[in-house]
Each structure stands twice: as C-alpha cells, then as structure tokens.
Amino acid sequence: MRVTFNVNGEDVSADNVWPGESLLYVLRERLGLPGSKNACEQGECGSCTVYFEGRTACSCMIAAGQAEGRQVRTVEGLAEGRGKGTDERPLGAVQEAFVEAGAVQCGFCTPGLLVQTDDLLERTVGARGQAPDDAEIREALAGNLCRCTGYEKIIDAVHLAAERRARAGSGA
Amino acid sequence: MAATTRVTDLSSTTRDGVGTSPRRPDGTLKVTGEFAYSSDMWMEDMLWGATLRSPHPHARILGIDITEALKVAGVQAVLTHEDVPGEKRYGLEFQDQPVLAFDKVRYKGEPVAVVAADHPETARRAMERIRVDYEVLDPVSDSRQAALDPDCPLVHEAGEVPHHPEYNPRGNRLRYQPIRTGAFTEVAGSADREQEVLEGLRAEAAAVVTTEYEVGMQDQAFLGPESGMAVPAEDGGVDLYVATQWLHADQRQIAPALGLDQEQVRLTLAGVGGAFGAREDLSMQIHACMLALHTGKPVKFVYNREESFYGHVHRHPAKMRYEHGARADGSLLYATAEVIVDGGAYASATPAVVGVASSLGLGPYEIPNALMDAYGVYTTNPPCGAMRGFGAVQSCFAYESQMDKLAAELGLHPVELRVRNALSQGSKVITGQEIDMPLPMVEMLERCRELPMPPERSALADPADQRTLPGGVAGTTRGEGVVRGVGYGVGLKNLCYSEDFDDYSTARVRMEVAGGEPVVQVHTAAAEVGQGLVTVKGQIARTELGVEKVVITPSDTQVGSAGSSSASRQSYMTGGAVKVACTSVREEVFALARAKGLVPEGSQDTDLSLTGGKVVSATAGALVSLADLLGEAAEGGAVVEHTREFHHRPTEMLDPQLGQGASHTQFGMCVHRAVVDVDVDLGLVKVVALDAVQDVGKVLHPQQLAGQIQGGSTQGLGLALMEEVQVEGSEIRNPSFTDYLIPTILDTPPMRIDVLERPDPHAPYGLRGAGEPPTLSSTPAIVAAVREATGRPLTHAPVRPEDIVGIEV
C-alpha cells in the first residue's frame, strides 16, 4: 500500500508498504529518517518516541497505515534549521543541553529522550513559564530507558535546557 | 612573547586537554539523529538477514529441510551448517561454538539456519518453512550438578571441544580454580585434612558466619540490538560494518569460518548502541558475511529485543557458599568459599571469569587463611560471558553480605569491620599478588560514611508526596509500613586483561599543516561504545602535542588491534597507545626543529615542549610555530606520522593447584553507601540515595567519569532490585523489556560522587580504569540497606518482593 503523511513539515509518501509495518519501520527504512531508534518494539523503552499529531508516542506501536494524512515530527525535525550533516547547523536548545551536560553516551536512547524533553518543556516552560522540578522531570521521562548514564546527567540537561528556554522566553 | 615562562603543565595551556571536559566529538550527530548506528546501515540493493533458532535447549538434530523455504518469493538464500565455508566452530578463547548448529543444539535460541530476503517479513515467512527434525534431550540445567556430580550428562562429548590443562577441566567443568593460603596451603588437595584445618580455625574464631548466596543471570540490556551490514567485495572478500567491542577479535574469528585470509575480511566500527560486555562475542557477524558472499549482495541483520536475549551472552549466574571466621576484635581469621558460575552452552569468556571470581572472590580484606574453590561449567543454559564487572560482581555480593553479617555478630558498625580488615598499598590479595599501587580503602570508607545523608522522610516538604515513596504514583502507600535502611559496599576489581594475556593497543598519530594550522589525526581500532574514549583520545593528543585541532579517524581494521573495549581498559591501553604515538611524533618534530637550527645549542628534548601550536623551549620560549616548521602539507610540507603499540606490564597465570600468581595488571575500587525506603508490607523498594567514593588515579574527563560511575552504579542497582533473566528448565522466561526490567529514571536516585586521584605509577597519567568498580559495590550496598530496613537475610540478588515480605515461593 501507499502511505502519505507529513514529517518534519514535509509531505512524504512511501510505496509498497506491507500492512504489518510500523510507523517506525517506514521512517527508518523507507523514508531515510533513521534517527528514531528501535530498541524494544514493545513501547517499553521510548527510543522511538516521535510527535504524532503533536503528542509524543512510540512510533513502534503505530501501524504505518495509521499515519496516513497525519503530522509526524522526529528527532531530525528538532534542530532549528534544516540542512544535512554540518556541524554549524544550530541545534535546538534541548539538543545543545544534552551534549553540553554529558547526557549522551552511546546515544541510542537520546532521540527519544530529546523528543520527550522537548514536549516536557513545551508543557512547562512553554505553557506556564515555569521550569519543571526533579520530580516532574522524572515522571515525564519515566518511559524512556537509558542504560548508560544512570540518568543524572539527563536531569542536568533538562534543567539546563529549561533554564535557557525560560530565559529566551522572557527576552533576557 | 613569554620567553621566560617555564611551561610544564600542558593541560593548562592547550584547550580541551587531559583533565578538562570537552564535548564528545560524536555528540552533535547523536542529538540530530544522524549518527550512523549499526542498525542504520542502508544500501539500495541490500537484503535482510534472519536467523532460525533452536526451540529446544538440548536436542539432537536429525535433519534440516530447506526446500519449502527457498520457494518463498523474495528469498535469496537459506544456509545451514553445510554452507559454512571454513571452520565450523568459533569462540573467544575456545573454538567450541558452531557457526550454525550441527549434530546437536545446546541452548534454546542457538542459530540453526540463516535466511536472506528482500524484506524482514519475507525472511520470517521463509524461516517458518524450514523443517528441522529434533530428538529432544534432557537439559543440563543445574550448575552445581554440572560442577560437582561426576554422573552429570555431558553438554559437550569428551574430546569434542578444546581444553586448557591449566584450567583443571573435567566433565562439564570448563575451569576449576582452587586457591589455598595460610594453614590451608600445607593440606591443599586433601579434603579430609582441609576439613581438620577448618575445624581448628572455627574453634579459634569468636564469630563464624556461613551462608549460601545466589546471583541471578543479568542481561547487559544495551539499547541498540545486535546489527550490522556485510558488503561483498570485488576481491572475493567482505567489508563488514558492525557494532562490536573488539574489531580484530571479530576478524580473527570470522575469517577462518569464511575460509578467507584475515585481510579479506575488513571491519569498520558502525555506531554502537551500548555494549557492557555483550558484544565481546560474535552474534550476526559470520552469518551476514556468509549470506553476502553467497548472494553477492549487501546483507543487513538487525535483531529484535527478544532475539537479542538469545543473541548474546549474559552475566554468569552464581551459586556461592561462604564461611568467614573472625577474632573478637573483628580481625578476620579465615574465609572459605565455593563459587560456581554457570557458563551455559559455550565457553565464551568463562575461564577468565573464573580467574577473576576466584582471585578477587574474598574481596579487599586481609585474610590469613583462605580456601577458595571456583568453578565455571558447561550447562544447556543460555551462554554466559562478559558483563561489566566480569566475575567480580557475583562474589562481591557474597563477601560484602558476609562482612555485614559478621559485623552484626560482633556488634561492630559495618564500616568499622571493613576498616579493621582493609587491604592497602603493599598488602597481598589471596593469590599472593602484592598491591603495588595506592589503595586508600580506609580513607574511602571513612569519606563515604561522612558524605551528607539525604533528609529523613519527615523533613521532606511533603512526606505524603507519592513520588517520594516506594511504589510511586501507583499510590500503594501513604507512608505507612515504610522503613528506611542504610547499607555499605566495597568492591575490588582488576582492570585491563589478566593472567598472562599479552594485552596491547595500537595508535597511529599523524601531524600535518592544513589550511595554515597544525592538525592531528588519531587512528585506532578501538571501539567507542558510548563510554567516551573518542573524546579522551583527542584530549590526550591535545595535551601531548599542543595542537587544538584533532580529528579522530573512524575505527577499523586498517590499523593494528586496540584490544577490547572491556575490562575498564581503553583509557589505559588505547589512551596509552595514543600517548606513546604522540611522543614519537613530538620527538620527530623536535628533530626537525633541530635540523633547521631552530633549537638553541645544548638544549635537551626535556627542555622542549609542544604547546599552543608551537615548539617551546623552557628556557628560550617559543622557537617556531608548527605551521612554519612543517609547512602546508598540500604544498609538500612535512607529514609526521607514527604508529605505536602500547603493552601493559606482564601478568601471570594463576597456578592450578594453589591459585598463586600476580595475575592482575591494576586494581580499582569503589565504595558505595545506599539509603533505601522499603515498603515492608508489599516488598517495594525506593532507593533514596546511592553515593560513591572512587579512586581513579587521575581524572581525564570529569564529566564522562561521572557518567561512568553513575551508569555503573545504576546497573548495580538493577542487579540488586530487579534484573534477572529468569531461566527455568534452561529456557528464558522473560526475553523482553516488558518482563526483564532495567532501572528507569524513577528507580534511580540522586548519586553523589567523591573522586580521589592517587596515581598508579605504572599507568599512563597515573590513571585507573573507572567503568567497572561502581558496578560491583552498588549491589551489596543496596541489598544491605534493604536488609537493615527489613531484618530479612536476603541472600539472592536481585532481591524479590517475596524475599522482603518473607513469603516462601
């Protein structure tokens, strides 16, 4: 079958999609967007988290056909400018903070955590102008497994990104 | 010009050198989604590989029929053991594991056939049509029986697989390592006389504690499953892009199986989604190469999570019996231990795991009389091998539990008992090896005890906030039945390879001028698995060569072996190799400067340094810029390149009778204090704090070091409270992330770190491998804290809710 939807602001189509394929498979293997990772295929690890119609979801749990006509945003769509493979491309605040705080080791969980964190900051700093506290961060990221870091640096990164976003939002 | 400034501390003058925390060079690609992991490989005409695995843990193969599978449209190849072009078996140390099973399968999930097809679903459908006739045999599931019962059925027929006589092999025993010291030395080998000595010691002891412990099978649970792509080459060879821990060890095993020369099998490290020991053994490597060579097309394999549980070795589960006797003042009089680690169907790293489990099996304590019997055995359970901590984790849980029990018996604080028996520099471990480097164990224990405690529950802003309670927002308690406990743990870990292994790494360092500035390239075959070696290599080059622009070349087999990214060894070994290669480059640069008459007469190399892109004399200041000295490479300027190997000092095999020998290169230690809140009615635990003190000799990258300590501590937390591959009748019952639980961010507490830097004079920069020690001590510290809260014996790691509540299952 053919599936047509919008990814990171671009309309895309995939042909010859087998109905059993997940949105994750279509993104990774048919659309050249391998940033979303496949680590459990059961919605347990969060490595494949994307925005689906503006809400975060595990793309391994969404059948390809369900994406028809929908809006999807992946880790590849988090950076502020498009343009492939240059170090100069400005990173988003969350991406920047993860590198700076040492929240990235093997990095396999990172794309999902970035999307989930982006959403958390949208709901906290973005919506109410207030940064999330530790407990709130832990609840928000409880569906994203990381095996390398022990999560401490990830929490540091979320705080850093929240601070910067709050400062940018207040025009400071 | 700073002509009179003496420049000795290079790190202070070259940005992002050793001791600072520069960003990881792969960080940007990892946060944009562009970093190419092994599962992200893609080529236009590639095929998907898939593996048919044995549904039985132990069975004879009577026949394999692939006829129907080949008829499935889109299937390009179905291969069995008959299609293995070269050696039919491979293995890390013993060549005992079939590339594809023949005659027998020895564990559930063993590869029997491989398929290449145009879509993963096509491959799956083809596999359903492969007919394998099995004669099912009884599994050999009990590791104690395998170790000690001479009538236990054999997993491998006698003479079928290689043995090493120094390992005391017998029956299903892969290795039996005894250690005898003190009064046990004289009577070694005679069970009756050993018993007499033991009874004498018991009579002399003021306190004796005896306990059986078990550590469950832990999974490394890296997030990026086994994957890679093999691409057939025009020379009849193959290029393999794969996530592994040691490219050259893979190459050494793959080439003979393919019937190819080593140089026809070229490996490049693809992005690695974590490792933790699970990528030491081969998984899909030979299969992908076979299919690629057979079909003439690139073949990609990606295991899913369930398959990954069958596709790599796990941490050895252990059954352990420990006895400790102490005098009234708390000093240890003797200890005995029997440690049985279950190697499963194939050897993997089991012999080396036994070497560690025995030599470090009584921990960092002065014990005048020691008796250790450590066994590694074959069973039909899932194969076990390397995992972070490697043989030292299991026994650490046992000896630390013993120390707590002994302290309670003697009425001493657990820290006090440890302090009274602590090893230090100049002490000997039970193998007779002297610790010839700092080991500030007493200070570490005291510092750990002094770390600030987390606030009591009553002092929290809202003690009823469910997010602070065991069970979390599930709301299983409002605080009733919640008891706090505190526990300590200490672990001693060998770092780098042990027991006479010629452990080395290779680095190629090249300096040239490009675009008017000096640039250094560092090329090694070392596997970056997430730990941050890729950052450290650049820091060392900057510090040694005073050049800020450093390019790290992708790791591949076009340069000599780097050894494995395991045993906490890469900063030491590959770091050491980069350092010595930089030294050679630097010496050549000095020689060039001398040849051009730029170095003052009588000035020694020791007066010279490279800093800020210049050759600098301690007495005469900056002599010449590298840009001027070398000249633009593209215009015929000099290119200075050196490839150097770095070996650590030699080590010895343990002798097979008394277990004596200087078997280890370096020792590392971490001390943990855990604070837990336990819902004693429901058996739920919340770890409130998990604080660590570790001596790392020299900090290379403070931020990455913290990541290693916190990550390692968290894997130990998993082993303490939740992680166990449940095996019944040799079958895994929980091969998924739904049923095999690893710590989430909610399970993980704040982790305070106190780092000591007492340099090891034998190591580059004085550093000490840091990745593994935290994984040892966090488990016993947490279990001790739960014990304190509950009063339960808790002899099994992980602790299960029923153990806490006291229900017999």
Q: Kindly compute the dihedral angle of the four CA atoms of residues A92, A94, A96, A102, in this order, to the nearest 10 degrees.
A: -160
Please indicate if any CB of chain B lies within 8 Å of the CB of A155.
Answer: yes
CB contact under 8 A, B745 and A155: yes
If one compares B463 and B542, the residue with the highest pLDDT of the two is B542
Buried b or exposed e, range B556-589, using 16+ CB within 10 angstroms: bbebbbbbbbbbbbbbbbbbbbbbbbbebbbeeb
Across the interface, of B34, B473, B712, the residue whose CB is closest to A85 is B34
The 10s digit of each residue's pLDDT in B588-607 is: 999 999 999 999 988 898 99
pLDDT score recorded for residue B158: 83
Mutation target to probe the A interface, by most A beta carbons within 10 A, among B30, B473, B714 is B30
User: What gap in Å lies between CA A149 and CA B324, rounded to an integer?
Assistant: 36
pLDDT score recorded for residue A79: 84
- B777 and B196 in contact (C-beta within 8 Å)? no
pLDDT score recorded for residue B2: 34
Q: Which of B620, B647, B674 lies at the terminal end of a domain, its last residue?
A: B647
Please indicate if any CB of chain A lies within 8 Å of the CB of B466.
Answer: no
Per-residue pLDDT at A85 exceeds 80: no
Across the interface, of B706, B711, B745, the residue whose CB is closest to A138 is B745
What kind and span of H or E run contains A58? strand A55-58
The 10s digit of each residue's pLDDT in B556-588 is: 999 999 999 999 999 999 999 999 999 999 999
- Determine the 3-state secondary structure of B722 from DSSP: coil
Per-residue pLDDT at B203 exceeds 90: yes
Please indicate if any CB of chain A lies within 8 Å of the CB of B458.
Answer: no
Q: Which of B59-73, B261-275, B485-499, B594-608 comes out lowest in average pLDDT?
A: B594-608
What residue ranges do the domains of chain A occupy? Answer: 3-77, 93-169
pLDDT class of A89 with cuts at 50, 70, 90: low
B344 and B305 in a common domain: no
B622 and B534 in a common domain: yes
Per-residue pLDDT at B220 exceeds 70: yes
ipTM of the complex: 0.97
What's the 3-state SS for B195-240?
HHHHHHHHHHCCEEEEEEEEECECCCCCCCCCEEEEEECCCCCEEE
Q: Which of B647, B673, B696 lies at the terminal end of a domain, its last residue?
A: B647
Q: What is the mean pLDDT of residues B99-106?
A: 98
pLDDT score recorded for residue B9: 43
B563 and B627 in a common domain: yes
CATH code at position B383: 3.30.365.10
Q: Which residues of A touch B121 (CB under 8 A)?
A: 18, 20
Q: Kindly compute the dihedral angle of the four CA atoms of residues B84, B88, B92, B97, in this order, to the nearest 10 degrees.
A: 110
What would the two tokens of residue B737 be?
């992330």
pLDDT score recorded for residue B702: 98
Across the interface, of A40, A102, A137, the residue whose CB is closest to B707 is A102
The 10s digit of each residue's pLDDT in B666-682 is: 999 999 999 999 999 99
The 10s digit of each residue's pLDDT in B686-706 is: 999 999 999 999 999 999 999
Considering only CA atoms, which of A170, A103, A162 is closest in space to residue A133? A162
- B577 and B583 in contact (C-beta within 8 Å)? no
Please indicate if any CB of chain B lies within 8 Å of the CB of A98.
Answer: yes
B576 and B457 in a common domain: no
Domain count of the fold of chain B: 4
Q: What is the mean pLDDT of residues B529-550?
A: 98
Residue B123 within any structural domain of the chain: yes
Q: What does CATH list as the number for A3-77?
A: 3.10.20.30
**B138 contact partners, CB below 8 Å, separation of at least 6:** B58, B153
CB contact under 8 A, B305 and A102: no
Give residues 293 to 352 of B whose Cβ lies within 8 Å of A: 302, 304-305
- B53 and B69 in contact (C-beta within 8 Å)? no
Angle at B555 between CA B247 and CA B88, to 5 degrees: 20
Q: Which residues of B touch A150 (CB under 8 A)?
A: 707, 710-714, 743, 748, 751
The 10s digit of each residue's pLDDT in A105-163 is: 999 999 999 999 999 999 999 999 999 999 999 999 999 999 999 999 999 999 999 99
CB contact under 8 A, A146 and B713: no
CB contact under 8 A, B30 and A87: no
Q: Which of B647, B668, B698 lies at the terminal end of a domain, its last residue?
A: B647
> In the CATH hierarchy, which top-level class contains the domain A93-169?
mainly alpha
CB contact under 8 A, A42 and B224: no
The chain A residue lying nearest B225, using CA atoms, is A39
Per-residue pLDDT at B5 exceeds 60: no
Tell the burial category of B421 from Cβ atoms under 10 Å away from its Cβ (0-12, 13-18, 19+).
buried
User: What gap in Å lies between CA B63 and CA B367, rounded to an integer?
Assistant: 56
CB contact under 8 A, B42 and A34: yes
Considering only CA atoms, which of B129, B319, B359, B327 is closest in space to residue B211? B319
What would the two tokens of residue B459 be?
């002092």
CB contact under 8 A, A139 and B736: no
pLDDT score recorded for residue B338: 98
Residue A31 to chain B, least CA–CA distance (Å): 11
Q: What is the mean pLDDT of residues B446-474?
A: 95
pLDDT score recorded for residue A171: 55
pLDDT class of A82 with cuts at 50, 70, 90: very low
Please indicate if any CB of chain B lies within 8 Å of the CB of A153.
Answer: yes
Residue B685 within any structural domain of the chain: yes
Q: At what angle do helices A93-100 and A152-169 cross, to 10 degrees?
A: 140
Give φ, ψ of A58 to 5 degrees: -80, 115
Give residues 35 to 94 of A whose Cβ lies within 8 Å of B: 35-42, 44-45, 47, 74-76, 78-79, 84-85, 87, 89, 91
Q: Which of A80-89, B456-465, B770-779 comes out lowest in average pLDDT?
A: A80-89
User: What gap in Å lies between CA B718 and CA B788, rounded to an integer?
Assistant: 19
Q: Kindly compute the dihedral angle of the four CA atoms of residues B205, B210, B216, B222, in this order, to the nearest 10 degrees.
A: -10
Mean per-residue pLDDT over chain B, rounded: 96
pLDDT score recorded for residue B7: 36
- B248 and B197 in contact (C-beta within 8 Å)? no
Per-residue pLDDT at B58 exceeds 50: yes
Beta-bridged to residue B796, according to DSSP, are B214
The 10s digit of each residue's pLDDT in B386-408 is: 999 999 999 999 999 999 999 99
Residue B417 within any structural domain of the chain: no
- Percent of residues, chain B, with pLDDT higher than 90: 96
Across the interface, of A33, A106, A155, the residue whose CB is closest to B272 is A106
pLDDT score recorded for residue A169: 77
B798 and B692 in a common domain: yes
Which residue in this structure is represented by tokens 């988290």? Answer: A49
* Residue B746 structural domain: 441-495+660-805
pLDDT score recorded for residue B283: 98
CATH code at position B288: 3.90.1170.50
The chain B residue lying nearest A85, using CA atoms, is B34
User: What gap in Å lies between CA B136 and CA B730, rounded to an integer?
Assistant: 13
Q: What is the mean pLDDT of residues B242-258?
A: 98
Residue A172 to chain B, least CA–CA distance (Å): 26
Per-residue pLDDT at B44 exceeds 90: yes
- B529 and B275 in contact (C-beta within 8 Å)? yes
SS3 content of chain B, % helix, strand, coil (to 5): 30, 25, 45
Q: Which residues of A touch B31 (CB under 8 A)?
A: 75, 91, 95-96, 98-99, 104, 107, 110-111, 114
Considering only CA atoms, which of B683, B742, B752, B754 is closest in space to residue B715? B742
Cα atoms found within 13 Å of the Cα of residue A112, Cβ hemisphere only? 27
Q: What is the mean pLDDT of residues B789-796?
A: 98
B263 and B191 in a common domain: no
Per-residue pLDDT at B549 exceeds 70: yes
CB contact under 8 A, A151 and B473: no
The 10s digit of each residue's pLDDT in B477-530 is: 999 999 999 999 999 999 999 999 999 999 999 999 999 999 999 999 999 999
Cα atoms found within 13 Å of the Cα of residue B804, Cβ hemisphere only? 31
Considering only CA atoms, which of A49, A67, A66 is closest in space to residue A7? A67
pLDDT score recorded for residue B493: 98
Q: Is the dihedral of CA B641, B642, B643, B649 positive or negative?
A: negative
